[in-house]
Structure formats: structure tokens, C-alpha cells
Amino acid sequence: MRVDALAVFWDDAWYRDVTAFAAHTPGWLRGVIATGTDAALLVPVFLAVLTWWRSRRGSSRGVVLALLVPVATLAAVLLSEILKSLVREERPCRTVADVVTLVPCPASGDWSFPSNHATVAAASAMGLVLAWRMLALLAVPVGVALAFSRVYVGVHYPHDVLAGLLLGAGMSLLLAWAFARPLTRAVDRLRPRPVLGVLLVSSSGPAGQAVSKPRRPA
């Protein structure tokens, strides 16, 4: 059964307030956010690769947490897509009258609840913080800004974004809780192996030194 909106529980006043605020912000800011709302998805990708590369010099648990970042993000997005097909909430840019959006409204059938962008932002941010605590200073603000931008440009209700944030963060926490310990033991066993070890350990790091072969005496 199709549900056009969750207005039964959430008033559209917040959506109107945010889009009205966006319409009165400077043109350069509107342009930056309209472009950045999609382009910013590259930031978590870069940070995930950087975190994995750094983790190779540390403990096996750190490697596992770094590798779980893309896994949790993908799992969260898949669950988000399932929820979209079940809830089938129409985009607010189609259902709320007299609202000007900064980007074209997605086609009908591209459902609104929950926000995939917010899901990706929260899943990656939470995973990155678990793997590298210092990244909280960057990953969390970027994630929150990316989620907010979906309402700012007019393609999501606030509750779409909130649901995406909870879904993404929850998925990262769940996978870390369920798989960090058993996968750490697996990585401990795989690190000394020549082929897989390249992905799991740096030869210049402590773990790499532990598995490197001793030099022959001259």
C-alpha cells in the first residue's frame, strides 16, 4: 500500500521553514550546497580509504573496523532501499505546495523515506569514528552537513533525514558489535600470508615487522 507522506506524524512546517531559509541565503551558498549535496559523498569514500591505509600499520582490530566502514555503509543503503519500497513516501517537493527547491525534484517513484544520503553519511561517519576516533572532528560535521543539505535543497522531509541518520549509525554500531571480535581473530591468521597480508598489514608497521622474514647474515 502506498503512503504519500508521513505527515500523520510529522508536520511539513519544518520542511517549509528550511526551504524558505535556503531561498533567502546568498546565491553562492545555494550553488555550493546544491552541488555539494552529491559531491560530498566522495568525502566518506576518501576518508574510508585513508582509514584503511592507516590501519594496516596498527592492530588487527583496527583493520577490521576500517574494513567494516564500507560494508556497514553498503548494508545500510540496502536496508534503506528496502524501506523505501515498503513505505513509498512521495518526495516533499511533489506533495508540499508553493515550495521552490534548489535542485530538480527526483522522478516519481524515487521514494523519499528514508534518505539514502543521510544513511550513507551516518553509516560512514560512525564507522570512521569507531576505526579512528580523531576523524570525529571531520567525519561527524561532514555527515551532519550532508544530511541537512537534503532538506535545504528541498528533496527530503526532516524525518527522512533523521531516519537515515539513525539507520546508518545503527548499522555501523551493530556490525562492529557483532563482527569485530571474530573478524579480528581471522585477520590475525591472515596477516602473515603473502597475498592477503598486503591488504591487511603494512611492511613498515609494527605488524608488518612482526611477520617479515629475518635477513640472512652477510
What confidence tens digit (pLDDT) does each residue in 97-142 have? 888 889 999 988 889 999 999 999 999 999 999 999 999 999 999 9
Type of residue numbered 115: S
Among 188, 153, 209, 204, residue whose Cα is nearest residue 40: 153
pLDDT at residue 170 in the model: 96
In this prediction, residues 50-60 reach a mean pLDDT of 87
Q: What pLDDT is attached to residue 109?
A: 86
The pLDDT of residue 60: 85
Cell digits of residue 16: 517549509
Q: pLDDT-based confidence at 66, cuts 50/70/90?
A: very high
**HSE-up of 211 (CA within 13 Å, CB side)?**
23
Identify the residue with better confidence: 196 or 173. Answer: 173
Return the ∠ at Cα 87 (arms to 82 and 92), rounded to 5°: 115
Residue 98, pLDDT score: 84
Query: Average pLDDT for residues 72-78, to the nearest whole number?
Result: 96
What are the grid coordinates assigned to 63, written together?
A: 583493520
Query: How confident is the model at residue 117, as a pLDDT?
Result: 94
- What pLDDT shows up at residue 186? 85
In 3D space, the residue among 122, 124, 23 whose CA is nearest the CA of residue 66 turns out to be 124
Indicate the length of the chain as a whole number: 218
Cell numbers given for 158: 526532516
CB contact set of 149 (below 8 Å; sequence gap of 6+):
33, 36, 37, 40, 117
Give pTM, 2 decimals: 0.84
For position 210, what pLDDT does the model report?
45
pLDDT tier at 56, thresholds 50, 70, 90? confident
Q: What is the pLDDT of residues 29-40, one digit of tens each?
A: 999 999 998 998
**CA 18 to mean position of chain CA atoms:** 22
pLDDT at 194: 63
pLDDT tens by residue, 195-214? 555 566 655 454 444 443 44
pLDDT at 111: 92
Average pLDDT value for residue range 74-96: 93
Q: Is 26 exposed, middle or buried (0-12, 13-18, 19+ CB in 10 A)?
A: exposed
Average pLDDT, the chain: 85
Residue ranges of alpha helices (H) inside 24-157 are 27-39, 42-55, 60-87, 92-95, 116-131, 136-152
